Amino acid sequence: MDNDNDENTIRVITPNKNSGEIYGIVEKMSGASRLIVMCEDGVTRNCRIPGKMKKRMWIREGDLVIVKPWEFQDEKGDIIYRYTKTQAAYLSRNHMLPEIIDVFNEKQ
């Protein structure tokens, strides 16, 4: 097996920029499966957790998520995916997060 392309392998899910998905950090829980999320484009959005994720994935303040903004209301969006702390640290370590939401960098 070739291990030449191990450096280019991405081991976690990344946002699909073609469909408009972006990174975000959960700032506040609003109740009723609603969240206030600071997105990488600088907009704070009121996002909802879709029904298929509601019981499977628990989201807390400070979590890194993938947000898909609504096409007809830019200040709202849907949560697509939540990263674990390990996955978020991996993205931060490999400089894959934008500076505005990179709160996972390790102080050395």
Instruction: Write a three-state SS string for 25-70.
Output: EEEEEEECCEEEEEECCCCEEEEECCHHHHCCCCCCCCCEEEEEEC
The full length of the chain comes to 108
pLDDT in tens, 48-62: 999 888 888 889 999
- Domain boundaries, position 90: 19-101
State the burial class of residue 61 (Cβ atoms within 10 Å of its Cβ: 0-12, 13-18, 19+).
Answer: exposed
Residue 3 domain flag? no
User: Is the predicted pLDDT of residue 43 greater than 80, yes or no?
Assistant: yes
pLDDT (0 to 100) of residue 10:
72
Flag whether 67 is in a domain: yes
- 106 domain residue, yes or no: no
Check which CATH number belongs to the domain holding 59 and give it: 2.40.50.140
Beta bridge partners of 25: 38, 64
Q: What is the pTM of this model?
A: 0.86
What pLDDT is recorded for position 104?
75
**For the chain, what is the mean pLDDT?**
88
pLDDT value of residue 82: 95
pLDDT tens-place string over residues 68-77: 999 999 999 9
2 pLDDT above the threshold of 80: no
What is the mean predicted confidence (pLDDT) over 91-95? 90
What is the average pLDDT across 89-108? Answer: 82
From residue 48, give the alpha-carbon distance in Å to each of 26, 68, 76, 98: 11, 10, 8, 22
Quick count: other Cβ atoms within 10 Å of Cβ 50?
12
Considering its fold, how many domains does the chain have in total? 1
